[in-house]
Structure 1
Amino acid sequence: MSYKSILVHLDTGVRAHPRLEIALQLAHRFHAKLTGLFSTYVPPRHAFVVMAGSAEYYAEHERLRHERAGALERLFHAELARAKVDGQWIAAEGYANDVVPPYARLADLTVLGQSDPTDPEAFVAEQFVEHVVLSAGRPVLLVPCAGTVAAPGRHVLIAWDGSREATRAIHDALPFLAHAAQVTLLTVHASSDQPPRDRIPGADIALTVARHGVKIDVRELNIENDTPVGDALLSQAAGLGCDMIVMGAYAHSRLHEVVLGGATRTILQSMTVPVLLSH
């Protein structure tokens, strides 16, 4: 099993180029076709109808957007040639939460950037990452917005709780696991958890994955009730020297709002290494 098609979302934010570099390295590793999908925030025309000079503002915004898209497209094709990777460029028109998920459904893996509140250019839509993760039906690799990050997968930490989402994440991550030098599977127990006998043991799923030729180190961690599971996962990832986390994404949509589970919310806000999420 391998990823044969990878989609990377690109915008005009400062982290677009580093995110592209990671996607290129992964496409080269898995011999996959890379699609660069350009989608940015597009202000609705009707928002400016009562503002003086609104038509000129909108026209200028569109001009700058197309200018930046052209520059990024040229960079994308140059990087494809340098990395000797096959790929294509798509500039999606419309609201990102509507236009990006359909493309993500056509890819084996989608690479997104973590939301960055310090970079206005990185904003494309409200809860953009959450919407793509929940609606893609495919795994999403989320890249941190801070620090220098290399293509992940040397030492992978799997967050395991026996759920459907965690099971889906493990199988979606099999190409990474097969290439990893080390894989650690961690079950976090809070003192108020259900008894361990009611949960699928980590050793059982490790045996399933071992049939794919992946050796897994199974660990368990006990925490207090007031310790967030997401914080425990990040702490363990740092302590073990992991460069990637694999986990299920727990959330549901309520009208136009995405309501995240606690651990998922913590990871999306505070991640320090790339995270593969599946829902």
Structure 2
Amino acid sequence: MSYRDILVHLTLDPRNETRIQVAIAMARRFGARVSGLYTVPPPNVPYYMGEYIPTELIQKQMDEAQKASASARQSFLSICEGAGIEHRWLASDMAPVEALRLAVRASDMAIVGQPDPNPGNPASVPYGTDVLPQELALQAGRPVLAIPYAGQFGEVGRRVLLAWNGKREAARAVHDTMPILRGAEVVHLIVVAPEKKGRTPLAEIAEHLQRYGLRLETAVVDGGGQKVGLALMAEAQARNADLVVMGAFGHSRLREMVFGGVTETVLSNMTLPVVLSN
């Protein structure tokens, strides 16, 4: 098993190139093609204008959106051609989640950006990307690699923190990222200690992964009373990981939003790339 098609999301976002570089590094590693999917934002009409929407305003925004798309296309093609990798350009006027959901099902992985966790101006957040990693992880049927809002990242997946809790989503994440895990220098297989005493689900999955020849380091860690998501981020930093792999949304997304589930906590506090699978 390997990756042959990697999809990277592009939009009105200065972080486009960061995601492209991650996709290129992965493409080189696996001999994959990179597809750049640009989602064209719809016209943004201020709410105070009510029903009166000048045609000129709509047309001007549409023209600017197409100009931005053309600029992003030129940049993507130039970067990929310079890197010498197989690539193609895709564009869609659908909402990002919908466009990516359809495209990634014919790919192996989607690379998307973490939305700004603390936007000074919410209106500056690119259209449809405010909940993109969360929604896409639930709908894609493929692993979703989320790249943090801040920081520079090149090749990822050499030092992996693999979060394990024995649930279906975690098992999906293991399978979805096996090409990465098999090539990693080290895989830190981590279980955050359960509240109740008893045997952790660590032994069985460690034995299974060792059959693939993974360079494993296993540990059951005490979260110290903090949220599991924060404990995972702290462990990733302490172990100098460059990638976190985890199952996404063991509970409903609404419940996680209300009660602060692991996935929402990680995506709000991530400082390194995270692969989500559901």
1:13 and 1:158 mapped to 2: Cα distance? 29
Alignment correspondent of 1:105: 105
Is the partner of 1:223 in helix, strand or coil?
coil
Q: What's the TM-score, normalizing by structure 2?
A: 0.90
Q: Which residue, 108, 133, 139 being the options, matches 1:135? A: 139
Aligned length: 272
Is the partner of 1:142 in helix, strand or coil?
strand
The Cα shift of 1:203 comes to 2.5
Say whether the 8 Å CA contact 2:7–2:111 is kept in structure 1.
yes
Instruction: From the superposition, tell whether residues 151 and 259 of structure 1 become closer, same or farther in structure 2 (CA, over 3 Å).
Output: farther
Q: How is 1:85-104 mapped onto 2 (pairs within 5 angstroms)?
A: 85-104=85-104
Is the partner of 2:275 in helix, strand or coil?
strand
TM-superposition CA deviations, 1:23-68 (whole Å, max 9, x none):
1111111100111000143247897983555322211111111101
The Cα shift of 1:93 comes to 1.5
The Cα shift of 1:74 comes to 1.1
Q: Which residue, 192, 196, 199 being the options, matches 2:198? A: 196
Say whether the 8 Å CA contact 2:245–2:276 is kept in structure 1.
yes
2:268 and 2:40 mapped to 1: Cα distance? 21
Alignment correspondent of 1:229: 228
2:193 corresponds to which letter in structure 1? H
TM-superposition CA deviations, 1:98-142 (whole Å, max 9, x none):
222111111111100001235825343452221111000000111
Alignment correspondent of 1:274: 273
Q: What's the TM-score, normalizing by structure 1?
A: 0.89
RMSD: 2.3
2:80 and 2:258 mapped to 1: Cα distance? 37
1:31 and 1:260 mapped to 2: Cα distance? 41
Moved more, 72-81 or 122-131: 122-131
TM-superposition CA deviations, 1:200-229 (whole Å, max 9, x none):
2x13212211222212111011234x4111
Q: How is 1:1-279 mapped onto 2 (pairs within 5 angstroms)?
A: 1-43=1-43, 50=50, 52=52, 54-116=54-116, 117=119, 120-190=124-194, 193-197=195-199, 199-200=200-201, 202-224=202-224, 226-250=225-249, 251-252=251-252, 262-279=261-278
Is the partner of 2:244 in helix, strand or coil?
strand
1:40 and 1:115 mapped to 2: Cα distance? 17
2:46 and 2:12 mapped to 1: Cα distance? 23
1:249 and 1:123 mapped to 2: Cα distance? 23
Percentage identity across paired residues of the two chains? 32
Say whether the 8 Å CA contact 1:48–1:55 is kept in structure 2.
no
